Amino acid sequence: MAEVIRMPKMSDTMIEGVIANWLKKEGDVIKSGDIIAEVETDKATMELENYEDGTLLYIGVKVGEAVPVDGIIAIVGTPGEDYSSLLAGAPAAPAAAVEASQAPTAAPVAAAPVAPTVDLSSIPAKAVRMPKMSDTMVEGVIAKWLKQVGDVVKSGDIIAEVETDKATMELENYEDGTILYIGAKEGEGVIVDGIIMIVGEPGTDFQPLLQQASAPAAPAPAPVAVAASAPVKEAPKASEAKASPSGIQADSKGGIIKASPLAKALAKEKNINLNWLQGTGDGGRITKSDVENYKPNAGGATGNFISGEESFEDIPNSQMRKTIARRLSESKFSAPEFYLTMEINMDKAMGARVSMNEVLPVKISFNDMVIKAVALSLVKHPKVNSYWMEDRIRVNKHVHIGMAVAVEDGLLVPVIRFASEKSIAQISAEAKELGGKAKNKQLQPKDWEGNTFTVSNLGMFGIDQFTSIINSPESCILAVGGIKETVGVKNGQFYATNIMKLTLTCDHRVVDGATGAAFLLTLKQYLEDPIKMFI
């Protein structure tokens, strides 16, 4: 008897999952315990385990598409078995998840056309749409095209790299044919389910697919049909190319800058504007060696400026940057914040760090010492370790320290769990591991969920003092400045000393001034006399 495979709830905050990759296909024989797919939740990709023995009869969701928790994603049973009754009325994936030509005959699902009088099934071409690659994704940005108009593609080919709010992911093709149309250039955004490409037989009139599309594509150039004998590429307009972060830019006179894909990638990595380079390749094309040999002051350019000319560069916001902006704006304008700053004498801490690094298996940083001291201070001041829950205040009786980590496109906050119960060596090792995972976008849900307090440290950048925005629903966040050598006065005598400034941002709905000040005082005692952290 056929059995339904549904989208499981893989975390306490999960509402839907996105199929990142199918590891099995229709017709495969699978057993309980087999990994059949990879599912992307809010911030991680996790393996989906099968619990039914049989043949995979039906896959209802394509790679990149989202399914609500408990929605049908596949059916397992006996070959030839009628499973149409299992699909009837079931909470399956969105309508666009299954093309009419691929759905079972008993329960076809197709994208609804605007004008049903046009028979799109007679057109030998298919629209490739922007999949929903995360539960918070509204649109995707084409980071890089790996194929172009006129190329022959097959199901399973990687056709593009798409930037979401959390990561840049590969976009897999599921249609065989020739690319007839590309509807978005590199750097342009496309809404979820918007048309990004059309694949079909060369010479096909695909205009009806665009006219009848149920979801509009991002701004795109006029479509170019492809003749069977002579594939035609779409030439980017200068005005559109200028804003592309991939390296397809307009020069100062409005012409198109030609550059190889490798040169574009290298220029982006090195933060080099292609306007500054003189190409040595065919037709003035910029090559990899041109980027590698670029001298900052060559060609009249000074730093990011072009001598004697007014110029600018528009850089589209990444999906991660948009999410950071939305969430921090919500926190900033909903929580009545106030700030408390205290100076910490770090002379003894500096000496203690030298001694610890002589005997411990890992190198202790000042940030490790701050996290340890914060964790112990939160145990003594649980009100600071609380959540604002609108109708109540939740006082957490465990300490999970969020550690703000800067990554290329924004900020991630991995969590050191039960930090108050761990040694400083354990905290140091875990902080290094989580920091590496964050920079490589390898964090899993357990790595970022559940923080009760956050530490943000900019001291390594030479910042003396700053304020941070609270990471909701937490009540406080600590901003850590750098250690600065300065002059102190004691008994009328001047002496050299080392000072570090800490600023605590507090949500006044939960933490009062006296409560925040008491927490900082305890923290000061730990850092100014580190031996107290170990007795």
What DSSP string describes 413-457? --EETTGGGS-HHHHHHHHHHHHHHHHTT---HHHHS--SEEEEE
Contact (CB, 8 A) for 36 and 56 = yes
Q: What is the pLDDT of residue 134?
A: 61
In this prediction, residue 325 has a pLDDT band, given cuts at 50, 70 and 90, of confident
Distance of alpha carbon 96 from alpha carbon 535, whole angstroms: 61
Higher pLDDT, 184 or 338: 338
For the cut 70, the answer to whether the pLDDT of residue 487 exceeds it is yes
Catalytic residue status for 508: yes
Residue of 82, 205, 464, 512 marked active site: 512
More confident position, 88 or 424: 424
d(CA 367, CA 65): 40
Q: Which of 58-72, 109-123, 373-387, 450-464 has the lowest mean pLDDT?
A: 109-123
pLDDT of residue 286: 84
Q: Which residues pair with 134 in a beta bridge?
A: none
- Tell me how crowded residue 335 is: count the other CB atoms within 10 A of its CB: 21
- The whole-chain average pLDDT of the chain stands at 79
Percent of the chain with pLDDT over 70: 77
pLDDT surpassing 50 at residue 515: yes
CA dist., res. 311 & res. 111, Å (int): 44
Residue 139 pLDDT more than 90? no
- Nearest Cα to Cα of residue 67 among 93, 47, 89: 93
Q: Which of 503, 471, 508 is nearest to 370 (CA)?
A: 503
* Helix, strand or coil, per DSSP, at residue 401: strand
With a cut of 90, say whether residue 247 has pLDDT above it: no
- Interior CA angle at 386 toward 382 and 390, to 5°? 145
182/310: higher pLDDT: 182
Residue 406: C-alpha distances to residues 143, 328, 409, 411 (Å) = 21, 15, 8, 5
Structure tokens at 181: 């149309």
Does residue 101 have a pLDDT over 80?
Answer: no
The number of C-alpha atoms within 13 Å of 227 and in the hemisphere containing its C-beta is: 3
Widest CA span of the chain, in angstroms? 94
| Listed range (314-328, 365-379, 398-412) with the worst mean pLDDT | 314-328
List the catalytic residue out of 70, 205, 508, 529: 508
Interacting residues of 355 by C-beta distance below 8 A, sequence separation 6+: none
Q: Residue 107 pLDDT > 80, yes or no?
A: no
Distance of CA 457 to the CA centre of its chain: 21
Q: Vertex 116, ends 113 and 118: CA angle to 5°? A: 100
User: Is residue 216 over pLDDT 70?
Assistant: no
**Of the candidates 280, 308, 313, 284, which has an alpha carbon nearest to the alpha carbon of residue 294?**
280
d(CA 410, CA 321): 6
CB–CB of 499/346 below 8 Å?
yes
Which residue has tokens 């849900």? 445
Structure tokens at 98: 């299954």
pLDDT band at 237 (very low <50, low <70, confident <90, very high): very low
Most confident segment among 116-120, 167-171, 239-243, 358-362: 358-362
Give which of 478, 337, 348, 333 is closest to 403, Cα–Cα: 478
What's the pTM? Answer: 0.48
